[in-house]
Amino acid sequence: MRSIDPRRPATFAAVQRPLVVGVGHVGVALTAAAENLPEPDATGPVAATAVAASPAPGVAVALSAAMALGCRARLGGLVGADPLGALARTCAARIGIDVEHLRPRGGAPCEVILATPHGTHTLLHYPGHDDGGVELDLNALLAGAGALLVDGSAVPAQIAAAERARELAIPVIVDVTEVADGIGELIGLGDVLLSSERLAAELAPRADLRTALGELAAMGPRAVVITLGAAGAIGLHDGQLVECPSFPVRVVDATGAGAVFHGAFAAGLLGALPFARCVELAAAAAALTCRLVGPWDAVPGRDEVMALVKTRR
């Protein structure tokens, strides 16, 4: 199995911070926190204790997490040519993500989410729409990149970007949550696959997670991580099995955890951390993002993540 270690500076203190590139279809999440779900026959509003409007979980949130851990970020792909899309683009640009390669088109995907003490519930899901594929200048998009992040939200564009990244020896980190057309090809182009337990059960239906890791690795990735929610994460690289217990945090809204794991793993990889430490760093960052409402404002800072990794408290 080929190493996933990039040929990049070995520390975050390098003169030029490593560049992470994300490609996807950027959506919007409208998140509210409340004490309870609405009753089935309720006609009045439910009182919310907090609300947030931001880019939805995906490559934009992943790039925000990578930036918080010391990377630069560039975002390419599709964003809605509507007010919601403008909101997502503005949020990304405001924190310093390069959005030059983000193309406005169609309607932005949107989720309306309610977080309660009993869990997070998606109330509405609008898949968005566009009028066709997107043409990206892949050489310009990937120039200077240390890693490419893709999430299955714009599969044809992500396959093209992954193919070019592989030609340029840029590690491709694939984070997918559901099976869709072209996902198998996209996974095969990845150096690292980050999979939820649910997706792993669909792609490699085995009761034994270790066997499932091996079957997922046989699809092409050099390393595989299965995230297990409150149970932590388990990974496989170069025959090395890594198990990372969960970090103790009070969960308010877990919708952004997977995307933050994606970006934090990339930051660890570009910081030349060993595979096990990349998983640990990503799991700590993902845990911390569950403390607040909304996937965007909840992205933790580097000091918080490193403190949790060190103390586990």
E strands in 253-295: none
**Nearest Cα to Cα of residue 46 among 37, 55, 58:** 37
Distance CA 17, CA 31 (A): 32
Residue with tokens 């994460």: 233
Cα–Cα distance, 304 to 287 (Å, whole number): 11
Domains of the chain, by residue range, sit at 19-26+56-109+136-311
Phi, psi of 206 (to 5 degrees): -135, 140
Residue 201, pLDDT score = 87
pLDDT > 80? residue 10: no
Give the fold, CATH level 3, of 19-26+56-109+136-311.
Answer: UDP-N-acetylmuramoyl-L-alanine:D-glutamate ligase (3.40.1190)
Q: What pLDDT does residue 6 have?
A: 52
Q: What is the pTM of this model?
A: 0.91
Collapsing DSSP to helix, strand or coil, 76 comes out as strand
The pLDDT tens digits of the residues spanning 240-297 come to 999 999 998 889 899 999 999 999 999 999 999 999 999 999 999 999 999 999 999 9
What confidence tens digit (pLDDT) does each residue in 214-239 have?
A: 999 999 999 999 999 889 999 999 98
The percentage of the chain sitting over the pLDDT mark of 90, rounded to a whole number, equals 71
Confidence of residue 47 (pLDDT cuts 50, 70, 90): confident
